[in-house]
Amino acid sequence: MPVIHYPSTTRTTTPKTTKQRSLVTFLLPSPPEPASRLASPSKQASIIPRRNLAILYSIRSGGGSATGVCLGQLAFSWWRIMVAKSRRQVAKLALLALALLLLLLAATLLCVLLIPRHRRKPLPPGPPPGNASNPDDSIVAFDFSPYLIMYKSGRVHRLDGTARCAAGVDGDTGVASKDVVIDAGTGLAARLYLPPAPGGKTKDLARLPVLVFYHGGAFVIESAFTPLYHAYLNAVSAKARVVAVSVEYRLAPEHRLPAAYDDSWRALNWVARNAAGSGPEPWLRDRGNLSRLFVAGDSAGANIAHNMAMRAGTEEGGLDGGAAIAGLLLLDPYFWGKKPVAGETTDRATRRQYEATWSFICGGRYGIDDPLVNPLSAELRRLACSRVAVTTSGLDDFRPRGLAYAAALRNSGWGGEVEQYETPGERHVYFLDRPKDPNSVKELAFVTGFLSRE
């Protein structure tokens, strides 16, 4: 082990005062140990660096001026050591912070990739400003959320189903559409859909089945002109190859039931007349096959479609021109009643709410067991069609009564054919909001198969 040699001095110095020696003794370690005592590793670990020892020796042996210089050099050396240590500590802390940041980033990416994301519909727009001079314009008379809110003044604020889109040629399907006015006095109108000719042929075109469709929306929202139903009818018309007529009927509460039923009946007869050749509409007159007339709808529109088929079978003379409905297609139909059927909710609050909304829609004109809303109390054997298809969704409140309707129809003495299609685990009319979902594609295949079959 090398022995540390300390510099010697030959100059004569005046002895340090007691005060000076005490200061130096307080600040500096004792003189170096003999070499023989520095042999063990534990002792070597505590050896002061050579430069510092030289400084200490100078302080011990030098005069007062040398003491100040050496103390300064010692302080500077000590400061450099502390700065080096601080830098190392800062570097360690920086590395630790960077590691934590990377860990947080990885956890965030993991959450984004693994946690399922749910699409949320945008919040409904706030209520339009009311009439400040009329205090009743801000008092809620009936809250039919999430569809609309009606105020005591009669003002109606719709929360959904108010968007509109123009007719034209659909870029995805090639289906052409146009709007027609059936009754300018009431505002009754329709949007017609015509699929493209197969292979681009324009001559000797075959006549196509005719589909009259009634949109849903609890009788209070939506339209034949909303993007939701425009996209759905484009898809149905293209895949089933039908001339479709989507009816724009009047809505409650401005026009309470039976306004929607009356509009729908008038539109159905208008279609029958034009498809029979006695009307001016060329898409129906030249391309429609009246012997294959279908009536369909979803939710409240399915309720309307059922009641149109019942009216055709009970009203004297039936449809104009002696037309007959070949098939009835009910998608998640809106039916209800006072007494729960098997599988229907027994929650009193829920049942009271459904009764209250039905009373709001019809202005209290019809009870909850009226055949218009509860077909189980109707004479189903008089249904004027030869085929019926009913679709239901597993999580829909209206599912049990839709199934009960199909069963009651089979047992009513009606001589037609009933088909059922169910999608487990789905909510009411899910196929409208998610048209590309696998379940929606399967349901559309069932719908188009029903309409295409002879």
Rg (CA), the chain: 44
Catalytic residue among 215, 230, 306, 428: 428
Amino acid found at 331: L
Measured in whole angstroms, the distance separating CA 332 from the mean position of its chain's CA atoms is 20
How far, in Å, CA of 346 to CA of 374, rounded? 17
What strands lie across the sheet with 156-158, from one edge to the other? Answer: 140-144, 148-151, 156-158
Residue located via tokens 């004792």: 30
299 as an active site residue: the answer is yes
183 as an active site residue: the answer is no
Residue 257: CB atoms within 10 Å? 21
396 as an active site residue: the answer is yes
How far, in Å, CA of 331 to CA of 421, rounded? 9
Residue 213: CB atoms within 10 Å? 28
- Residues with Cβ within 8 Å of 285's Cβ and at least 6 positions away in sequence, in order, are 274, 275, 277, 279
Of the candidates 52, 6, 13, the one whose C-alpha atom is nearest the C-alpha of residue 29 is 52
Catalytic residue among 393, 396, 397, 440: 396
Cis? peptide before 122, omega within 30° of 0: no
How far, in Å, CA of 54 to CA of 47, rounded? 12
Catalytic residue among 58, 246, 299, 393: 299
Strands 208-214 and 288-298 turn out to be parallel
> Considering all CA atoms of the chain, what is the largest pairwise distance in Å, rounded to the nearest integer?
142
Catalytic residues: 299, 396, 428
